[in-house]
Amino acid sequence: MAADKIEIIPLPGIPIVEEGNNIAGLILQSLEKIPMKLVTGDILVIAHTLISKAEGRVITGSEVEVSQKATEIAEANDFDAIQVEIALQESKNVIRSSRALITELENGHICNFSGVDRSNAPEGKFVLLPKDADKSAYRIMEELGEETNQEIAVIISDTEGRPWRKGAINIAVGCAGINAFKYNKGRKDLYDRILQHSLVCQIDQVASAAEMIMGQANEGLPVVIVRGYEYESGEENAKSVYRSTEENLFK
């Protein structure tokens, strides 16, 4: 049964994060100021930049030594050579380097520039994706659960483009407490036909919905609460979403 109402609630007052900050602690402080309490079933969607900054995943551009390969890719495409070099260092495989720099990370995630970005980064610095966003999400979920005595889920999000559609949307790069997928196989459609193949990536759906509040510029709302969405918890995480090379539809 679908929920009667789903709320997307912004969490204001999250400060600029620095390395070593405790994200769960900052969230709890923000909740106290509103004031508001987490309830069982809440999903916290957190912009990956908060996690990355807290975990020291920020690089100063002037300290990067640019390789010949990065220089060649940058010059051929009018890219920033430093950003290209960091992206190459973060990747295990370069899938495309003409018109776009599409790379595969160690965890199987495929994205532009290895997720390396200057948006919402201090001047002259680049923010990288978390090393293991699923692990980061689990840690935050556990800390918040212990402090609030509520069963909640955490999704870590990033904004990415898609190869077959224009425009970027929020997707999940890490999650905990919520299965990656929603399974409709075996359910009936409007005409009583049994669905045979219906796999929905619900963590991407939730992340995309949250972005309408979070924004991508100076909104200053990197954490939102999604309340009222009925989901199943389990062992699936964001790594479960990535297709293997054999399953890649564009190979």
Helix (H, G, I), strand (E, B) or coil at 54: helix
pLDDT tens, residue by residue, 30-57: 999 999 999 999 999 999 999 999 999 9
Q: What is the pTM of this model?
A: 0.92
- For residue 215, the model assigns a pLDDT of 79
- State both tokens at 70: 């990065």
pLDDT tens, residue by residue, 189-235: 665 666 666 788 999 999 999 999 997 756 689 999 999 999 988 88
* Domain boundary assignment for the chain: 7-57+133-243, 60-125
What is the overall mean pLDDT for the chain? 91
CATH number of 7-57+133-243: 3.30.1330.100
Which residues are registered as beta bridge partners of 159? 170
Question: Please, what CATH class does the domain formed by 60-125 belong to?
Answer: alpha beta
DSSP letter (8 states) at residue 63: G
Specify the DSSP element, H or E, that contains 62. none
pLDDT tens, residue by residue, 116-131: 998 888 899 999 999 9
Question: CA-to-CA distance for 127 and 109, rounded, in angstroms?
Answer: 17
pLDDT at 246 over 80: no
